[in-house]
Structure 1
Amino acid sequence: MDQEGKRDLRHRLATTVLLVLFALVAIAMASFAWFSISDQAKARQLALTANAGNALRFDLDAHDSFDQYVSSLGFDQISARISSEQGTDIDSSKLQPVTTSDGQSFTYEDGSEAQARTGAYLEFTLHFISHQDIIVRLTGESGGNGEAGTAFSSNVDSLPQAMRMSFTCDGQTWIYNPNMGSDASTSGGVTTFGIPTGGSSEAGNMFNLVAETDKPAVVRIWLEGTDPNCTNIVRGADYSVAMRFEGIEQQEQQEQQDQR
């Protein structure tokens, strides 16, 4: 082989090695992007509303009568409760990328335990009550008085897809994943579900309420580190969370199932 041929071969080999190195770097960045977020998402708004006629209400504490519960809770009330229970100021703390298999215990990318008291994720308890035996459903529908339906929102388009929330009650956990549409899947006592944008479906059905009986549900909100959208693009982004619940009478639910 002449000198020119050798130079050409060396050039091609060098190019190939460089491309392989670039590929390896890209793979590494893709694998660990969720862990490299150094300026995490910050809460700006957290609103909850309930609208099911006079049938469904909730609060941050259990009470003696239905009339002591409320149909809406705002950021300040929830923030104050999280601060008192977890010692975390959610107006200044930032969510960190975490992951979970059960919607209750969380870990960082390296497998170490994440805790709510550090602000890595949000955790608080809602107490529900109803005048009737109903199923509590998480819905994307807006209320008749303009209450926002369940949704994550952000100034960065990809951030809402990386967020999750869970509800733990009666030994079961329901995880809302905004990427699942109207689908739902259950495994090991954990149901992961989606709800249609601006709509409602049976996928959002969660726990039952017995008339006039308080039932607590632990709510957790987090940034899912394994989601493809959880990359440095969401670094420093603001986010807001709206939840809306409706009460579905069990007779109505049975009629819907019979019609199918």
Structure 2
Amino acid sequence: MIDLPVFALILFAASLHASWNAFLKGSGDTLLSTTLVMGGAALIAIVALPFLPVPARASWPYLAASALLQVGYLGLLVRVYRTIDMSLAYPLMRGCAPLVVALVSRFWLGEALPALAWLGVATICAGILTMALWARASLRPAGLTAALANAGIIAAYTLIDGTGARLSGTPTAYTLWLSLLTGLAMIAWAMRSRGAAASAYIRRNWPIGLLGGLGTIVSYSIALWAMTMAPIAMVAALRETSILFATAISAFVLRERVGPPRIAAAAIIACGAMLMRLA
């Protein structure tokens, strides 16, 4: 069982993650908002990294691979939020990933899960299927494909970062280096595709970018630290209680038509994550 303080911190990280995704979805320009947040995280990393130890050399290949995957994830995230409501896209992306993490970590890392944890995996799967069945009439194939592809990327970078953070000896510095590499890549992408518009947007909204960047760093630092304390699959599943936060934000802040079926499906997915906590 995951210790209660670790459990509480992961829930806090989950709420932060759902909040910054809601900002991206509701911003009106997902690419520039994503760049703003990641650029803010990169700036914070530049200031903080001189005061932290350098991650162990063994973690560097994991750091490089994760940075590439993170850029791909953010690119797909922009596409997903342009085509699907957050109340549907977020659970599909975040709910599918723990299934892959649990299966792969069993064979790659040798982290066997107890029976109750596998029950949690099955429950998460049931929630995802419930949501997909209820929403099948409104799903756009391109958006659905992007959401499911992003679930695979999330699973990949979760496993890579969980291993890399353990090898680094300093999960916080590992997270900051990842934020720096990802943020610089996103800024380069935005400048090339949007030019002056991107520069103007960042100048107008840089305080929001710093706040969002701080939230991103804190959220992922907690998750990676937790992965050094508990099995990666269990932390990844528990972190996806962010689905409940995302569903609530979608309904009350973004004013999406969530409806009882999506609420029920999100609750099932979250229950599956909670079973992972109890395993």
TM-score (norm 2): 0.28
Name the structure where helix makes up a greater proportion of residues.
2
Name the structure where strand makes up a greater proportion of residues.
1
